Chains A and B, each alone.
Chain A
Amino acid sequence: EIVMTQSPATLSVSPGERATLSCRASQSISSNLAWYQQKPGQAPRLLIYGASTRATGIPARFSGSGSGTEFTLTISSLQSEDFAVYYCEQYNDWPPLTFGGGTKVEIK
């Protein structure tokens, strides 16, 4: 099973600042990685797939990078609606599909 590890667990950022979230896979997953945003009481929303491709309707301030085992989600200038929990997920080698533990982005 591929283990996904996200860091940090919590990220405190001021509106307008840049946020950088990390995700590490326990073995290479090529670029088969997705990022999701989840707000309280809502289902996760797909932000990024293929490690760097924005999903339909996702603003350009969200960008993903990386391949192999190290991945990054960057939010270039945090807006109020971006404060949420972010999850990465690998779909390179399954079953099982596996998610990271999440990073909570909170207002500083």
Chain B
Amino acid sequence: QLQLQESGPGLVKASETLSLTCSVSGDSIRSPSYYWGWIRQPPGQGLEWIGSIYYSGSTYYNASLKSRVSISVDTSKNQFSLELNSVTAADTAVYYCARHGRGSLGAFDYWGQGALVTVSS
């Protein structure tokens, strides 16, 4: 059974960098059939896709965040990571990591439990 688990600081100061890691167990992150993505959800609001990475290292970002975001993969640890710099209060959200397929199987089929990150002033 595939499991994803987010980890990282729950409190980040404004203007600093938010860093989260997603640990994957139950399957290899090297699978050519999947992408690995980050989605966030501000309190009481909807879902926003941040970006995704393929095991090869190819990355895809939401243009609204592209100038501040970086996603990387560590296949040796079966992990992928998110960095979001110059954070503000608007970046306070629950951050989810999730897996999605390719082409017609592109839905997010497995999700982590989510990590609440609060940006403080």
Contacts and interface: CB of A to CB of B under 8 A. Distances in A.
B46 A36 contact: no
A95 B53 CA distance: 12
Interface stretch (B9-17, B18-26, B59-67, B82-90): B59-67
B113 A91 contact: no
Interface residues of B, number: 25
B30 interface: no
Contacts of B64: 96
Nearest to A1: B63
Interface string B88-106: 0000000010101000111
B112 interface: yes
B59 to A, nearest CB: 10
B104 A31 contact: yes
A100 B48 CA distance: 9
Nearest to B113: A43
Interface of A: 1, 31-32, 34, 36, 42-46, 49-50, 55, 87, 89, 91-92, 94-102
Top 10 nearest A-B pairs by Cβ distance?
A91-B106, A34-B107, A49-B107, A43-B111, A97-B49, A99-B47, A95-B60, A96-B62, A101-B46, A102-B46
23 contacts: A32-B106, A34-B108, A36-B47, A36-B108, A42-B113, A43-B96, A44-B111, A45-B111, A46-B108, A49-B105, A55-B107, A89-B107, A89-B108, A91-B106, A94-B60, A95-B49, A95-B61, A95-B63, A96-B49, A96-B62, A97-B100, A99-B46, A102-B47
